[in-house]
Structure 1
Amino acid sequence: MTDHRHAVLEGTRIRRTTTPTDAEVESAVLGMARDSVVVLSEAGDDHTYIQVWQRPDGLYQLEHRAGSPVEHFQTMTVSAEKVHTAFVGWLRDGQGWADAFTWKEISELF
């Protein structure tokens, strides 16, 4: 698994897992219930992560932060599959995982 980040997977209704597999990420994201959260963070770095909240209305509020407070972004989608693809792309530290979305910078909210 050298192509994966050293990451931690945690959230509502899932057990905290270090160095999660693609299958564990898939299960966590595609198995989400409304008003639950899944976070995949860089191990040892609370400021680098991707997270999703499935809002009560069913929309997925997807966010990622790339280290500094000014690199915090958000988007919305109705597609659990797109969220799953983004999470796996982020975990693999791949290029282009964020390209399927239109992101807005939200650092001013924090």
Structure 2
Amino acid sequence: MTALRASTWDGGSYDDPSDADLYRLLTDLDQDDEDAPYFIIDRLGRPEFYAQVMSMSGTLLVEHREGSADQHFHVFESDLRTVHRGLAAWSHESAGWRTALDWQPGMP
């Protein structure tokens, strides 16, 4: 059974993306693109549980939500490897994923 699905701004979709898939998705974000490319990773079967990444002028906006609006967090990060480690930890629900990035409460 598929637990995660990554969907990209251009219509791509990946079921249960591996860590390598996540890294490729991050590197595919064209940080100079005016269309603000993004991808979303949904936890299937858990409404409003997701992580998403958007490219914004050389910085990545990373967000995650755990159900309700008061459980929405974000971080701006320019280091791709740091974002990758945080997303991989989030996707596996690894111990310490909440401290892998400097999450700030609320919408950006």
TM-score, normalised to structure 1's length?
0.81
Number of residue equivalences: 103
Asked whether the 8 Å contact 2:89–2:100 carries over to 1, the reply is: no
Unaligned runs of 5+ in 1: none
Q: Which residue of 1 aligns with 2:61?
A: 61
Asked whether the 8 Å contact 2:83–2:101 carries over to 1, the reply is: no
Q: CA deviation at 1:87?
A: 1.2
Q: Which residue of 1 aligns with 2:74?
A: 74
Matched ranges for 1:39-50 at <5 A = 39-50=40-51
Matched ranges for 1:19-58 at <5 A = 19-34=16-31, 35-55=36-56, 57-58=57-58
Q: Matched residues in 2 for 1:29 and 1:99: separation?
A: 20
Asked whether the 8 Å contact 1:30–1:84 carries over to 2, the reply is: no
Unaligned runs of 5+ in 2: none
In angstroms, what is the RMSD of aligned CA positions? 1.9
TM-score, normalised to structure 2's length?
0.83
